Amino acid sequence: MSKKPDFRVPELNDSLEVPKVKDGTMAHSKPFISKPELNLALGYPEELIDNWQEVAINKLGDMVNNSRALRVYMDTCVKCGACTDKCHYFLGTGDKNNMPVARQDLLRSVYKRHYTLAGKYLPKLVGAEDLDEQMLDKWYTYYHQCSQCRRCSVYCPFGIDTSEVSMAARDIMQTIGKSQKYCTEIIGKVHKLGNNLGLPAPALADTLEGLEEDLLDDINVPVKLPLDVAGAEVLLVTPSADFFAEPHVDGLIGYAKVFHQAGISWTLSSHASEAANFGLFTGSMGNMQKIAIRIREAAQELGVKRIVFGECGHAWRVAYNHLDKLAGPFDFLDRRYPLPQHMVEVTHDLIEQGRLRLDRSANDAKRVTYHDSCNVARASRMGSKPGGQFSIPRDVINASCNYFYEMPRNTTKEATFCCGGGGGLLTDDLLELRVKGALPRMQALKQVNDKHHITHMAAICAICKSQFAKVLPYYGFEMDQIISLHQLVGDALVFSAEG
Amino acid sequence: MSDSIEVGGRTLATDEEGYLEQHSDWAPDVALAMAAIDDCELTDSHWAVINFLREYYEEYEIAPAVRILTKAIGKKLGKEYGNAKYLYDLYPQGPAKQACKYAGLPKPTGCV
């Protein structure tokens, strides 16, 4: 942990408590506003334009005309209250506007004012509001306190998806010149250099070579991390955090070990050196597409047969739901394999086929729990069976270690809590929000830890891993208790000439 | 936080979190001034990290991966120092961020 925080860290109890609803406890929490040149590079106005109200209202009109889903979300809410205590940011902060219904209402009230008859003539009666400076400020504040994790939508009887609402609001804001710096800076780097970090190809090559040397030193097996190898069977697209950060890099090493032992030729690409797609977070179809097309270009150029995604939650959400629409057709790939395929799925299939030998006892010093990353759990699937996104990672963990324990049921699988840093909020200017938003997951971790003395929590998302490495110490845990699922696999893998 | 830092009579532009806008503005007294703001006294070990970051950045135009940094520090200071824990002891806000700042490098971005 860094310096003493200038906010109160929530306390962990015996179980999760729903806080009292308070007004404006997080009204001060806003991300840094984007710099003019970053906006410009993405085709947005440099700063808030003069006629922003008009443009924003027109944009909202276009959006509800083009997306029947968004219009239904705007029209349908009956204020039943089922969502109110389901958001991790509400549970961690108690702020009224972090109740999903209230967050939606910030956009809904403006929609009603301009696009419903009652709202036009009797605004007060139906909760319709003008889009004034105060409202725009609330949008900027509270649509950057939603990690687009979709937990609330699971409990909404109509399935209203706040993540779509928050994406729409962010898209409107960037259109009028009010973007968040963290996302515009990152998207700009992907367009320019191929990844969120801004890692140039020579640095990536050097990093991978270093890891190969380490691996040879550590296990005396010549496991490779190939880059830009034409003719490889698999293109692995993984978050650039896997090259840079801890504990991510041990996941990358795990993938490399699996490919090595299974005898599958694979490559990374310096052109598509990023799985993450922040275009999703800002609701920008154009940026999402531009980022996705890099993957297609790399796959074609390298002549691969399959595309596999590494451990990254929203990369998988975008790939699983949209890859073909955004960058297809992918008819040049081998149709015998699913597109896209998740690395965990690859490992799972290899284990089932008996092509990997895992020695669970290699992980006997670890007592493991698993954090379902929200974007994998609720915004996509995995494998060919319903619920595969829950069972496949667990099967792989159980094949890799002897001591695996679940967190409480209302905090896992489709009910999982976001790590607190998803949706484009993994930035230090939102640290208070991140720490408080992690409360429900930390509470669940404490509960499983009290019973089973957990040493490690595994995850399959770069954001989750970085977020937990940062926030675990605030709750009395150690930063290195978060690990990559493929670290468990890599540590248990038995190398042999026959496979 | 202000968007500049005063160092030896120079006013240097920074971002909101105190990272230098211009890498070329860096001089050792910049690191000292930044560390002073954080109440951090720079020892030889701190400087080993800063110097390595700068060397790496000169060559690759990016900060090194945490693992490359730990390995390099292990080589420079001795194996027992080549680990993330030691780097966090030196730079409690995180070696990738705090040390990059003192070294005049931009803040690492992305899911890190």
> Residue A499: what pLDDT?
43
Say what the pLDDT of residue A496 is.
81
* Chain A residues lying within 8 Å of B68, measured CB to CB: 206-207, 210
Contact B93 A211 (CB under 8 A): no
Tokens standing for residue A94: 């108690």
What's B4-37's CATH class? alpha beta
How many Å apart are CA A105 and CA A19, to the nearest integer? 21
Architecture label for domain A48-176: Orthogonal Bundle (1.10)
CATH 3.40.640.10 fits B44-102, yes or no: no
A185, A245, A312 member nearest B112 (Cβ): A245
Residues B60 and A335: their CA atoms lie apart, in Å, by: 39
DSSP characters over A35-62: PHHHHHHTTS-SS--TTHHHHHHHHHHH
The residues in A 69-108 lying below 8 A from B, measured between CB atoms, are: none
**Annotated catalytic residue B111:** yes
Q: CA of B94: which chain A residue's CA is closest? A: A2
Three-class SS state of A195? coil
The pLDDT tens digits for A63-73 are 999 999 999 99
Mean pLDDT of the region B59-74: 95
Q: What is the pLDDT of residues B87-111, one digit of tens each?
A: 999 999 988 899 999 999 999 999 9
Q: What is the DSSP letter of B96?
A: I
Percentage above 70 pLDDT, chain A: 99
A-interface mutation test, from B70, B111, B112, most A Cβ less than 10 A away: B111
Mean pLDDT, residues B49-73 taken together: 96
% of chain A at pLDDT higher than 90: 98
Instruction: Provide the whole-model pTM.
Output: 0.97
Q: Where are chain A's structural domains?
A: 48-176, 194-405+454-492
DSSP A12: P
**Mean pLDDT to the nearest integer, A193-214:** 97
pLDDT at A5: 82
